[in-house]
Amino acid sequence: MKKERDLAELYQDDPQRADYEVFGRIADTNRRGFLKKAGLATLMTYLGANIPFYKNMPSGLIPAAFAEGLSDFKIAGKNGLIVLNDRPVNAQTAAHLLDDDVTPTARHFIRNNGLPPASVDASTWTLDIDGEVERPMKLSIQDLKRNFEVVSYKLQLECGGNGRGAFNPPAKGNQWTLGAVSNSEWTGVRLMDVLKAAGIKDSAVYTGHYGADSHLSGIPGKDAISRGVPIAKAMNPYSLIVFGQNGGPIHPMNGAPLRLLIPGWPGSCSQKWLNRIWVRDKVHDGTKMTGTAYRVPEYNVAPGTKVPTKDFGIINSMPVKSLITHPQTNVKLPSGTRSTFVRGHAWAGDNAVSAMMISIDFGSTWTYASLNGPPNPYSWQGWNSVVNFPTHGYYEIWAKAIDSTGKEQPFAINWNPKGYLNNSMHRIAVTIAS
């Protein structure tokens, strides 16, 4: 084993190797290994603490103390985001900065597939509704405000690839860890009301969304992304066309001046810089709608499996998930501390969250946290708990949510080739001084 201070770097560069050094065998997230003696000693030296529940500590997972990096990112109106890519811009938010019930605009993640429009003018912006409708329409933002009921809701938005960074073998794409999720308050009109005004034909099957950003290649007419949803989801009263974010304008990187907000489904359905909705008579076949994009195999596969494209299905509702937003991971608590307050949020795609559970002994025993109802459907739900520690040392707090259908967050990662839908439970590191 290298010097103790190299352990964090090793987990960063080569987590499988680090796992091997500590646990003495090849990582396998579906089974639990046991810390080898030297590994336990190395870990304890690095953490500066003993590990009361070390016997339960799983192999194949990066210890929470090493799991989250931090870096700075400067963009006007954004604060504290961690940049993953700057062309296109992709940036996520650290879990402890997502502590607010309503995600401030400055903390809302950015996921761009192409290049945002260089400048936009809300006063001349138009939205076309065409395809399988009786009355094709061209609407200004003023028309939307005048002709339809304006509503505001807190709505969760999560990238389908959030959590991809934990995939092993890795999946191509942005290596999101936890922070490609948000719950801002959005103001706009119901997509349903606009589609009804246009007169949906019986032949309508799907929506097709278009925005004003351009493809990375800069080739005119080539879309960065163009996805859609079945008509039933478009007609859900919480699927919105929005022009306001948190009481102000939409941030330029979050789709100003107009975007879709289709909560509970992959973020990619929520077209930014929205300028056209094409109502289709078949499943939309725009950019990143076909092949294996935003699709997962229709059956479970072992990590690394090659899956034929025909066996992939389009992702609809996102799975149940939660975040611990307080305390911040790697918190050091003073000697004598025997309890701490823990809180976070939980959400479940089209469903509600019905229970929230916490463990401090690597999942051996669980207690219920208290869980709030959502302020409106499709908002994430707050939860909190006091956890008690038997002694000083290194602990991980694990949190898992359970949805209204009884599904709960797994311990292991449900691997799939494109790295979507990782809803494995969130873990944070807590150390109590001796």
- Interface pattern 117-156 for ligand MTE (x via CB under 6 A): ----------------------------------------
**Which among 103-111, 309-317, 389-397, 417-425 is the span making contact with ligand MTE, rule CB under 6 A?**
103-111
CB-based burial of residue 73 (10 Å sphere; 0-12 exposed, 13-18 middle, 19+ buried)?
middle
Residue 321 touching ligand MTE (CB under 6 A): no
Residue 268 touching ligand MTE (CB under 6 A): yes
How far apart (Å, rounded) are the C-alpha atoms in residues 419 and 174?
9
Q: Please, which residue, 51 or 89, has the CB nearer to Mo ion?
A: 89
> Which of Mo ion, ligand MTE, none is residue 409 near (CB under 5 to 8 Å by kind)?
none
Please identify the residue of the shown chain whose CB is closest to the bound ligand MTE: 267
Nearest partner of 416 among 171, 203, 57, judged by Cα: 171
What is the DSSP annotation of 209-258?
A: EEES-B-TT--TT--S-----BHHHHTSTT-EEEEEETTEEPPGGGTTT-
> Half-sphere exposure (CA, 13 Å, Cβ side) for 291?
6
Residue 229 touching ligand MTE (CB under 6 A): no
**Which among 76-84, 266-274, 303-311, 404-412 is the span making contact with ligand MTE, rule CB under 6 A?**
266-274
Q: Please, which residue, 111 or 233, has the CB nearer to Mo ion?
A: 111
Longest dimension (CA), the chain: 73
Q: Please, which residue, 59 or 184, has the CB nearer to ligand MTE?
A: 184
Among 273, 347, 378, 395, binds ligand MTE (CB under 6 A): 273
Provide the binding-site residues for Mo ion, judged by CB under 5 A: 111, 159, 267-268
Nearest partner of 299 among 308, 291, 290, judged by Cα: 308
Residues 165-224 that bind ligand MTE (CB under 6 A): 211, 213, 224
Work out how close the CB of 173 gets to ligand MTE at its nearest, in angstroms, rounded to a whole number: 10
Among 58, 60, 208, 267, binds ligand MTE (CB under 6 A): 267
> Which of ligand MTE, Mo ion, none is residue 213 near (CB under 5 to 8 Å by kind)?
ligand MTE
How far apart (Å, rounded) are the C-alpha atoms in residues 146 and 386?
48
Amino acid identity of 89?
V
> Which pairs from 144-149 meet CB under 8 Å and 24+ separation?
144/188, 144/189, 144/194, 144/241, 144/243, 145/189, 145/243, 147/197, 148/189, 148/190, 148/193, 148/194, 148/197, 149/189, 149/190, 149/193
> Which pairs from 219-223 meet CB under 8 Å and 24+ separation?
222/287, 223/114, 223/286, 223/287
**What torsion do the CA atoms of 280, 269, 186, 205 make, to the nearest 10 degrees?**
20
Residues 395/431, Cβ–Cβ less than 8 Å: yes
Residue 110 touching ligand MTE (CB under 6 A): yes
Residue 382 touching ligand MTE (CB under 6 A): no
Could you identify the residue written with the tokens 């912006």?
125
Q: Please, which residue, 152 or 292, has the CB nearer to Mo ion?
A: 292
Work out how close the CB of 257 gets to Mo ion at its nearest, in angstroms, rounded to a whole number: 21
Among 255, 349, 363, 393, binds ligand MTE (CB under 6 A): 255
Q: Please, which residue, 23 or 273, has the CB nearer to ligand MTE?
A: 273
Radius of gyration of the chain measured on its C-alpha atoms: 23
Q: Please, which residue, 268 or 423, has the CB nearer to ligand MTE?
A: 268
Work out how close the CB of 183 gets to ligand MTE at its nearest, in angstroms, rounded to a whole number: 11
> Which of Mo ion, ligand MTE, none is residue 109 near (CB under 5 to 8 Å by kind)?
ligand MTE
How far apart (Å, rounded) are the C-alpha atoms in residues 152 and 147?
16
CB atoms within 10 A of CB 303: 16
Q: Please, which residue, 7 or 159, has the CB nearer to ligand MTE?
A: 159
Q: Please, which residue, 111 or 276, has the CB nearer to Mo ion?
A: 111
Pairing label, strands 339-347, 381-388: antiparallel
**Which among 78-86, 124-132, 168-176, 263-271 is the span making contact with ligand MTE, rule CB under 6 A?**
263-271
Q: Please, which residue, 18 or 269, has the CB nearer to Mo ion?
A: 269
Residues in contact with ligand MTE by the rule CB under 6 A: 108-114, 159, 211, 213, 224-225, 254-255, 267-268, 270-273
